[in-house]
Amino acid sequence: MTTIKKTTRLAAAAFAVAGLLFAGTSKAQSTGSDSQAWRFGVGVEPGIPTGNMHDFSHFALGGNARLQKDLNGSVSVMLTAGYTNFFARNYDTPAGKTDFNDYGIVPVKAGIKAYFVPHAYVSGEVGAGFETNNNFMNGYDKGTKLILSPGIGYSMSGSGLDLGVRYENFSGGNSGNFGQVALRIAYGFKL
């Protein structure tokens, strides 16, 4: 199966899951004055690389900004953008020490957040990741990756704190497929 067919199938599956979450979500949050609110949040995201990226890097660190629109008390749509840096490992070889450049990517994603009990949610995002530098991981030819990102989290509405964990899959392009498991620690507020 070609990479394009795999990417298309993954994108279709992500949209199907997002549609099911959107259609099947019950109203677990209150629908009072917070309903229909716009929110803005900023977060920091430490991550552990998976797949081929784990051989290249043992740690990732990102930051992002998220715009969120509450549709009702239990479902929100999100638009997220930021930057993630995968810190390159250095290797000692018989010929000497290798020194790779870090791998950077700018993710731009859209998705939904569905609360299944007060404050606890599942989320799904799909988007594009724009490689920021030419390095060993992308064959010295930067490109664009498809991003699929399911997650779970807990938001504390009184304090604005939002804690989440997600798996993020990057596919396509010259650097192959890889991912990360990332923690998101964010602060959000109503606009």
Q: What is the DSSP string of 40-81?
A: EEEEEEEEEEEEHHHHHEEEEEEEEEEEEEE-SSSEEEEEEE
pLDDT of residue 114: 96
Give dist(CA 34, CA 75) in Å, integer.
12
Domain boundaries, the chain: 3-190
The architecture CATH gives domain 3-190: Beta Barrel (2.40)
DSSP one-letter code for 89: P
CB atoms within 10 A of CB 48: 15
Q: What is the pLDDT along the chain (191 residues), one digit of tens a residue?
A: 444 444 444 444 444 444 433 333 333 333 344 557 899 999 999 999 999 888 889 999 999 999 999 898 799 999 999 999 999 887 766 666 777 788 999 999 999 999 999 899 999 999 999 999 876 665 667 889 999 999 999 998 778 999 999 999 999 877 678 999 999 999 998 88
pLDDT of residue 173: 74
Output the CA angle 56-166-182, nearest 5 degrees.
40
Give dist(CA 80, CA 186) in Å, integer.
12
Q: Taking Cα atoms as reference points, which of 93, 88, 173, 89 lies closest to residue 138?
A: 173
pLDDT of residue 67: 97
pLDDT of residue 66: 97
Residue that the structure tokens 């990360």 belong to: 180
3-state secondary structure of 126: strand
- For residues 125 and 78, the answer to whether their CB atoms sit within 8 Å is yes
pLDDT of residue 16: 45
| Angular region, 126: left φ>0, alpha ψ -120 to 50, beta rest | beta
CB within 8 Å of 91: residues ≥ 6 apart: 97, 98
